[in-house]
Amino acid sequence: MKRLLIFLAVIAGIGLTAAKLLDNKEKTAQKVYIPDTDPKVGVKVAVAEIRRLSQEASFLGSFTPNRKVEIRPQAGGEIVRLNIEEGQFVKAGQLIAKLDDEQLRYQIEAAQVTLEGYQNDLKRYEVLVKGDAVPAVNLERTQLSIRSTEAQIKQLKKQVANTSIIAPFSGIVTAKMVEKGSVVSIGTPMAEITDISLLKLVVNIPEKSVNEFRNGKTIGIKTDVYPDADFKGKVTMVSAEGDDAHNYPVEITVQNSQKNPLKAGMYGSIANTGEVKGEALAVPRQAITGSAKQPQVYVVENGKANMRDVAIGATTNEFYEITKGLKAGDKVVTSGQINLQNGTSVVAQ
């Protein structure tokens, strides 16, 4: 009897232990993390809708002078007169400097004496040849000597003219490299003249906007120096070649103002505003993924992000026109695409 009681007690202990273990297993199983087989990714969305597309972009550039030239003499010698100072305005044809031409004038005088002698010989030979007193060849040689001396005199006079350094156009003397008494040779830099009666605003235009610029188009220009002044310029050059960043230099010529004078090197900006298209289906630029050749968007349908191929038309700073692949009312993902794959469950935040 005693053994039976002991056996029953052991059986009861085993049962209690098994029940406790089973209960602990259930509690442990409840604490174990079970991953969601269909997680939802938070994204931002926008609605594809019909809107009026217009493009407005501001481009910054700097003014360059209409013309700038470094004055270099075509003759050499000592500067005996210098009529300019930095900052001075000079007119076209105005004498800038004068080089010593004394020796050249002496050579001209000597050549003229020689020429006079040949001319006297010519008169005598003409008389003598008629009387067969001298050969005709002497007459021909004298005629050639006269022509040669006349050419020599013309050359010397040209050299004398080159000793007068004149301004090729009206402008401001922006640099003076010599002083009176300096000895210069042919090609020595003497001064720099800058013409700012017209200025050229040079701006780099990105590839997407360069076709909005045409030669002769009038452009409004603003400056930080005169924020309340409106300048008007005309497009005079659109580069045929862009740089490595696909920017194209565009040159806009503007008439300088006496009331608000501009200087070379100042900054100017243009606002290029033009209607790209009328009413068109458009989405924010952030919605476009993929490459330029194969643009794509994620469209949210029934809680999932589905990738679609689209075709892009006109572009502005904020929107892309969609010509194929979407319809008005479609919800497109504008943020969070990096976490998406085709068919990923999403929730709009």
The DSSP bridge pattern shows strands 40-47 and 344-348 to be parallel
Residue 133 has pLDDT above 70, yes or no: no
What are the tens digits of pLDDT across the range 172-194? Answer: 999 999 999 999 999 999 999 99
Residue 111 has pLDDT above 70, yes or no: yes
Tell me the CA distances in angstroms from 344 to 123, 256, 261, 295, 296, one per residue in order: 112, 61, 61, 19, 16
**198 touches 218 (CB < 8 A):** no
| AA letter at 219 | I
SS3 state of residue 99 = strand
Residue 268 has pLDDT above 60, yes or no: yes
**316 touches 55 (CB < 8 A):** yes
Q: Which helix (H) or strand (E) holds 201?
A: strand 191-206
Residue of 151, 104, 264 whose CA lies nearest to 199: 264
**348 touches 41 (CB < 8 A):** no
| AA letter at 221 | I
pLDDT of residue 7: 57
- State mean pLDDT over 246-250: 88
Full-model pTM: 0.58
- State mean pLDDT over 299-314: 89
| Cα–Cα dist 73/82, whole Å | 13
pLDDT tier at 20, thresholds 50, 70, 90:
low
What are the tens digits of pLDDT across the range 60-104? Answer: 899 999 999 999 999 999 999 999 999 999 999 999 999 999 999
